[in-house]
Amino acid sequence: MADNEKDIPLEDQFDGEDDVETPMERFFFHQRRALEETGKALEALLPPDFRSHAGEASKEFARGFRILVDAAIDELKKVSEREEEEARAAGEVDDDSDDDEPPTTTGKTKVRVKLD
Encode pLDDT of 25-42 as tens digits: 999 999 999 999 999 999
Q: In whole angstroms, give the CA distance from residue 110 to residue 75.
A: 36
Encode pLDDT of 86-106 as tens digits: 888 887 655 555 556 666 666
| Beta partners for residue 111, in sequence order | 105
pLDDT at 21: 81
Q: What single string gives the DSSP state of each residue in 9-62?
A: -HHHHTTTGGG--SHHHHHHHHHHHHHHHHHHHHHHHS-HHHHHHHHHHHHHHH
Report the percent of the chain where pLDDT is more than 90. Answer: 52
The pTM (predicted TM-score) of the whole model is: 0.43
Residue 79 has pLDDT above 80, yes or no: yes
Residue 58 has pLDDT above 60, yes or no: yes
